[in-house]
Amino acid sequence: MQTEVAIIGGGLAGLYAGKLLHSRGISFTLIEARERLGGRILTRDEEGTPTDDGFDLGPSWFWPEIQPRLAALVHELGLATFSQHNEGEVIFERMSRETPWRYRATQQEPQSLRIAGGTGMLIRALEKQIPGDSILVGTRVRQMILAANEVSLSISKVDGTAHTLTAKQVIAAVPPRLLAKLAFSPGMDSVTEQRWKETATWMAPHAKFFAIYERAFWRDAGLSGTAQSLVGPLGEIHDATTASGKAALFGFPSVGADARAAMGESAFAKSCLEQFARLYGPEARHPRATLFKDWAADSLTATSDDRNGGTHPKPFAAPWVNGDWQHFLSLGGSETSGTEPGYMAGAVSAAERAVDEVIQRLQLTDRTPNK
Ligand SMILES: Cc1cc2nc3c(=O)[nH]c(=O)nc-3n(C[C@H](O)[C@H](O)[C@H](O)COP(=O)(O)OP(=O)(O)OC[C@H]3O[C@@H](n4cnc5c(N)ncnc54)[C@H](O)[C@@H]3O)c2cc1C
């Protein structure tokens, strides 16, 4: 198999890179290890199946005022948006022996927006703009070998078969920590490898718990759905009602990945519902359905280094790739963005930068590994 550009990763960054290359008439093959596209973007209905009207188990918000490139893409793809619901009082739970406080929050600035249907709509819309035969899902890149003027990628499919793909250029649209797990020949220099390993994958230590209800009863009680808790197991809770009106609350656990794993999913869910009942009243104990996604337990997002928390990645001015590989490999995942690392907006800006780099190198005729 041969391609002009290999894109590793079919999250927002990889798909957006594919869209940009396609619009420039450059052929590419996008290789995605999971059997679905989207990466950390994951929208599911209450049964946990893919949908175009569901709940965001990964990212939900963006901020158009400070993320104009992502806002422009959302607009270009014709996606509708709506504001995060925050009308009503906020709850603060300080201690288990104290009644939670209610207070009126100040207007949120900048306003968080959500995509109608879920952020998965971004992925669906991008997928439609890319030729289907350019995408390989359920296919994992294991190794990259630099030989002459091309890169050989060793890939394996979920059925266990192994193949080789040759590319003139590679865009790695994956978190740097996952890229550091690949085998490189020649080996990656130690400075580059260290930098990849030290770059925390944003939100990888986290999880989201959803409870879906017949109606948003907390709104009737004058509550916005937003809560902060020092008691747990959820530390931050928000209204997750969809644009179409499916009522839900979601929370980010304050309990760490190891403690969540030790508790087990059903005990964790029970304790989340107990907390919802404490904060929003007894009706909250009886949702129509619950959803839970623990990103720390997903090896295509988190490494063992991500389990115990991590800082927000910072923009770096230094190059992401050095040595021979810098002529053939660009990093395009969100964490490598120079402006919004870790965010969806970062995936868009990093993909744009990686595509620019690759196009520039494709236009250079005289490329050798030692230049
Ligand atoms: C719980 C949670 C909440 C979040 N909330 C927000 C939010 O509200 N707003 C916001 O802007 N951002 C948020 N984020 C961050 C946002 O999801 C990411 O910035 C964005 O989705 C990253 O996109 P990406 O394409 O760079 O990486 P990813 O989505 O991680 O995609 C990388 C892809 O590469 C694939 N892959 C990995 N290794 C290989 C391999 N060897 N071979 C082939 N494929 C491989 C993976 O399967 C994955 O599909 C949140 C993230 C999480 C987890």
The CATH number covering residue 248 comes to 3.90.660.10
Q: Is residue 170 included in any domain, yes or no?
A: yes
**Nearest-angstrom CA–CA distance, 134 and 167:** 13
Cα–Cα distance between 361 and 364 in angstroms, integer? 5
294 DSSP β-pair partners: 207
**Quick one: which atom of ligand 1 is closest to the CA of 70?**
11
Residue with the smallest CA separation from ligand 1 atom 22 is 334
Closest ligand 1 atom, residue 16 Cα: 25
Q: Which atom of ligand 1 is nearest to the CA of 37?
A: 49
Q: Are 212 and 198 in the same domain?
A: no
Q: State whether 158 and 249 are in the same domain.
A: no
Per-residue pLDDT, 368: 45
Cα(11) to ligand 1 centroid in Å equals 6
Question: Is the Cβ atom of 241 under 6 angstroms away from ligand 1?
Answer: no
Dihedrals φ, ψ of 277, to 5°?
-65, -40
Query: What is the whole-number distance in angstroms between the Cα of residue 333 and the centre of ligand 1?
Result: 8
Same-domain check for residues 107 and 142: no
Q: What does the DSSP 8-state code read for residue 307?
A: T
Residue found under tokens 């909250």: 284
Q: Are residues 216 and 292 in the same domain?
A: yes
Nearest to 292 by CA among 251, 241, 320, 262: 251
Max alpha carbon distance in the chain (Å)? 71
Q: Is residue 53 a part of any domain in this protein? A: no
Q: What is the CA(301)–ligand 1 centre distance, in A?
A: 7
Residue 79 in any domain: the answer is: no
pLDDT of 314:
81
Going by DSSP bridges, is the β-strand pair 139-147/223-229 parallel, antiparallel, or unpaired? unpaired
Whether 70 maps to a domain, the answer reads no
Distance 214 CA to ligand 1 centre (A): 31
Cis peptide bond N-terminal to 319, omega within 30: no
Q: Which domain holds residue 221?
A: 86-116+204-297
Give the global pTM: 0.97
Please indicate, yes or no, if residue 281 is contained in any of the structural domains: yes
Shared domain check, 214 and 108: yes
**Is 126 touching ligand 1 by the criterion CB < 6 Å?**
no
Last residue of a domain, one of 241, 271, 297: 297
The answer as to whether 48 is a domain residue is no
Residue 281 and residue 338 in one domain: no
Q: Is the CB of 354 under 6 A from ligand 1?
A: no
Residue nearest to atom 49 of ligand 1 (CA): 39
Pocket of ligand 1 contains residue 188 by CB under 6 Å? no
Q: Please answer whether residues 53 and 248 qualify as being in contact, where contact means their C-beta atoms are separated by less than 8 angstroms.
A: no
Pocket flag, ligand 1, residue 56 (CB < 6 Å): no
User: Is the C-beta atom of 140 inside 6 A of ligand 1?
Assistant: yes
CA pair distance 206, 236, nearest whole angstrom: 12
Report yes or no: 342 and 334 within 8 Å, Cβ to Cβ: yes
Task: Name the domain boundary from 297, 320, 342.
Answer: 297
Distance 335 CA to ligand 1 centre (A): 9
Is the same domain home to 260 and 235? yes
Query: How far, in Å, from the CA of 111 to the mean position of ligand 1?
Result: 23
> Which of 270, 297, 324 is the last residue before a domain boundary?
297
User: Is 117:245 a contact under the CB 8 Å cutoff?
Assistant: no
Q: How far does the centroid of ligand 1 lie from the alpha carbon of residue 267, in Å? A: 27
The answer on 266 and 316 residing in a single domain is no
For residue 36, how far is its CA from the centre of ligand 1 (angstroms)?
A: 12
Q: Which pLDDT score, from 0 to 100, does residue 33 have?
A: 98
Answer whether 238 contacts ligand 1 (Cβ < 6 A). no
The phi, psi pair for 319, rounded to 5°, reads: -65, 150
CA of 347 to the centre of ligand 1 (A): 8
Q: Is 202 in the pocket of ligand 1 (CB under 6 A)?
A: yes
234 and 193, same structural domain?
no
Residue 165, domain member (yes or no): yes
The domain that contains 159 carries what CATH number? 3.50.50.60
Contact 110, 229 (CB under 8 A): no
Predicted confidence at residue 21, as pLDDT, reads 98
- Is residue 139 located within the same domain as residue 181? yes
How many domains in the chain? 2
pLDDT of residue 365: 46
Q: Are residues 194 and 128 in the same domain?
A: yes
Closest by Cα among 333, 320, 231, 317 to 276 = 231
Kind of pairing between the strands at 139-147 and 101-104: unpaired
**Residue 18 Cβ < 6 Å to ligand 1:** no
Quickly list H helices, 27-142.
Answer: 68-76, 120-128
Is the CB of 347 inside a 6 Å radius of any atom of ligand 1?
yes
In sequence order, which residues have a C-beta less than 8 Å from that of residue 237 and are 6 or more positions away?
Answer: 91, 225, 226, 227, 228, 229, 249, 250, 251, 252, 276, 279
- 40 C-alpha to ligand 1 centroid (Å): 3
pLDDT of residue 270: 98
Any domain includes 143: yes
- Tens digit of pLDDT per residue, the chain (371 long)? 999 999 999 999 999 999 999 999 999 999 999 999 999 999 999 999 999 999 999 999 999 999 999 999 999 999 999 999 999 999 999 999 999 999 998 777 899 999 999 999 999 999 999 999 999 999 999 999 999 899 999 999 999 999 999 999 999 999 999 999 999 999 999 999 999 999 999 999 999 999 999 999 999 999 999 999 999 999 999 999 999 999 999 999 999 999 999 999 999 999 999 999 999 999 999 999 999 999 999 999 999 999 877 778 888 788 999 999 999 999 999 999 999 999 999 999 999 999 999 999 999 744 444 33
Asked if 132 and 182 sit in the same domain, the reply is: yes
What pLDDT shows up at residue 108? 74
